[in-house]
Amino acid sequence: MATQTTETAIREKLQLLGPLFDERTRRLWAAAEARVMGHSGISVVARATGLSRTTIHQGLKDLTELHETEGSEKERRIRAAGGGRKPLEAVDPTLLADLERLVDPVTRGDPESPLRWTCKSTRQLAAALEGQGHVVGRQKVADLLAGLGYSLQANRKTKEGSADHPDRDRQFHHINEQAMDFQRRQEPVISVDTKKKELVGEFKNGGQEWQPQGTPVEVNGHDFPDPALGKANPYGVYDQNANVGWVSVGTDHDTAEFAVESIRRWWNKMGKSRYPNATELMITADGGGSNGYRVRLWKIALQRFANETGLRLSVCHFPPGTSK
């Protein structure tokens, strides 16, 4: 809070005295404020005034020389208004246009948006500009891109593909009608899916927990799977009628037999007691993985389960890319 108050005070001083300052006196004043503040003074003054740390460091150097050479000619030298190094884009008038031409073919996002982004790196763009005869570094390219309205952004999963195919909705309507018919007849309807595999052992994971200060739980430095423990393969079974779930966790591979075994255990532990008069079972699943519609072992293992239980199984697969 004290730092914010100090920054506000310095900013107000500059607003009041700024019109009276030339370049050198502004630099000297900022350096004097920083020196009086002591530790972190340069950072505070830089944030408050917008002057770079390099400028304030130069002002501190000028303050020292001012007292050592008081009255000399150097003390009275002031750069004329408009003096100093000109911006690179002013010296090289075709630089911005050439940069835009390089970026435009690979520009992503809405051209009318105030924020655009490019997949070419600033290093690659600088090299391409140098190949055209410009003298420019990658940091300057980054500054120019920012001025042109570009920014670094990650991509976002929003496109769903060609969702206008008539069979897409028809498949969902069919699955919904089948599920409603099963539910009207008090027959079980379950949805199955493989969940994210996890390493077994002392590995870092997300989240936090309460521990004595300074004594966090120590875990392995690298996430290499333990050959003896392997990975945990969770497979979920969701009972749509009862709104309850069952998760089987295995350390073997995620196979069709493991998927059907998870369904079998759900039926023996939960389903059979909840639906004692059931004669049919509807299973909804995504189109790939261990329960994919092309996996022959999935169908063979389901047939074995049907033979064991006497249930008539109906399996409905969701269209590709829609299970989530």
Task: Give pLDDT tens digits for 220-262.
Answer: 766 666 776 777 888 899 999 899 999 988 876 778 999 999 9
Contacts of 263 (CB under 8 A, 6+ apart): 190, 192, 237, 283, 305
For residue 19, what is the DSSP state?
G
Domain spans of the chain, in order of start: 2-76, 88-147, 167-202+223-317
CATH of 167-202+223-317, one of 3.30.1360, 3.40.50, 3.30.420, 3.30.70: 3.30.420
> What average pLDDT does this structure show over 5-25?
85
Of the pLDDT bands very low, low, confident and very high (cuts 50, 70, 90), residue 163 is low
Confidence at residue 111, expressed as pLDDT on a 0 to 100 scale: 52
Dig out the tokens for 292 from the structure.
């994919």
Which of the listed ranges 62-66, 72-76, 256-260 does the model predict with the highest average pLDDT? 256-260
Pick the range with the lowest mean pLDDT from 17-21, 107-111, 213-217, 278-282.
Answer: 107-111
Q: Would the pTM of this model clear 0.85, i.e. be above it?
A: no
Task: Give pLDDT tens digits for 264-315.
Answer: 999 999 999 999 999 999 999 988 888 888 899 999 999 999 999 999 999 9
Amino acid at 248: S
**Neighbouring-strand partners of residue 193:** 236
Alpha helix positions (H), the chain: 2-17, 23-37, 41-49, 53-68, 88-91, 95-103, 122-131, 138-147, 166-184, 256-266, 272-274, 296-309
